[in-house]
Amino acid sequence: MAEEGLWKTLESLLRRYGIVDKFREQLVVVEWDTEAPPLAHKACPLYVKDKTLYLSVPSHALAQELHLQKEKIVRELQEKGYDICDLKFSVRPPELASVPHLLEIAITPEDEVWARNALEGQELPPRLRDRMVSLLAATRARERAMLAAGARKCRSCGAAFFGDSDVCPVCYVEQMEATP
Ligand SMILES: [Zn+2]
């Protein structure tokens, strides 16, 4: 795998997050595994836009079930400090569900140096900076592991993902949203 390709992927990932404010806004997405309300654990977070958290779910039945519990889920997220006011669910196309279970993610010292550099010059409280450094480093390591495990690169944003489509799940939903 070309190192240059990896950097390009990450660059677009960071562009998507727009660093700091945007990344902060997306924290709920990257922390979902540990922070998701138990009710919503089966949903997969995609991104946050205008305080709405977009989630993909494997079936229409589950989308409906979660929709009914929306207020409760939103309240739980707010109690954890996330600035989320609404949820939107989209049913995930089946081919996007094929994520290999065993990804060997190894965060290297270089990942952390890279993450620190990426945040340099940004006004951030030290604790938030440390949290973002470790999340960015983990994101970089994860992208590397995904590409090594056969992930594809999104035609639209360059991010790595598993599946047979041309675009990643995030861009897929964005395109669906954009279609009237
Ligand atoms: Zn994409």
Q: How far does the centroid of ligand 1 lie from the alpha carbon of residue 13, in Å?
A: 9
> In the chain, which ranges are continuous DSSP H helix?
3-17, 21-25, 27-30, 32-35, 60-68, 70-79, 109-118, 126-148, 169-178
In the chain, what are the domain boundaries? 1-21+97-180, 31-92
Q: How far does the centroid of ligand 1 lie from the alpha carbon of residue 146, in Å?
A: 14
Residues 13-32 have a mean pLDDT of: 69
Q: How far does the centroid of ligand 1 lie from the alpha carbon of residue 125, in Å?
A: 30
Q: How far does the centroid of ligand 1 lie from the alpha carbon of residue 93, in Å?
A: 15
- Phi, psi angles (nearest 5°) of residue 57: -130, 150
Q: What is the pLDDT of residues 104-136, one digit of tens each?
A: 889 999 999 988 988 887 777 787 788 888 888
Looking at residue 8, its pLDDT comes to 54
Q: How far does the centroid of ligand 1 lie from the alpha carbon of residue 35, in Å?
A: 24
Q: How far does the centroid of ligand 1 lie from the alpha carbon of residue 145, in Å?
A: 17
Q: How far does the centroid of ligand 1 lie from the alpha carbon of residue 157, in Å?
A: 4
Q: How far does the centroid of ligand 1 lie from the alpha carbon of residue 84, in Å?
A: 22
pTM score, whole prediction: 0.61
pLDDT-derived band at 1 (thresholds 50, 70, 90) equals: very low
Beta-carbon neighbour count of residue 2 at 10 Å? 8
Q: Are 93 and 172 in contact (CB under 8 A)?
A: yes
Of the candidate CATH numbers 3.40.640.10, 3.30.300.180, 3.40.50.720, 2.40.50.140, the domain formed by 31-92 belongs to 3.30.300.180
Highest mean pLDDT among 69-73, 79-83, 115-119, 168-172: 69-73
| Cα–Cα dist 152/164, whole Å | 8
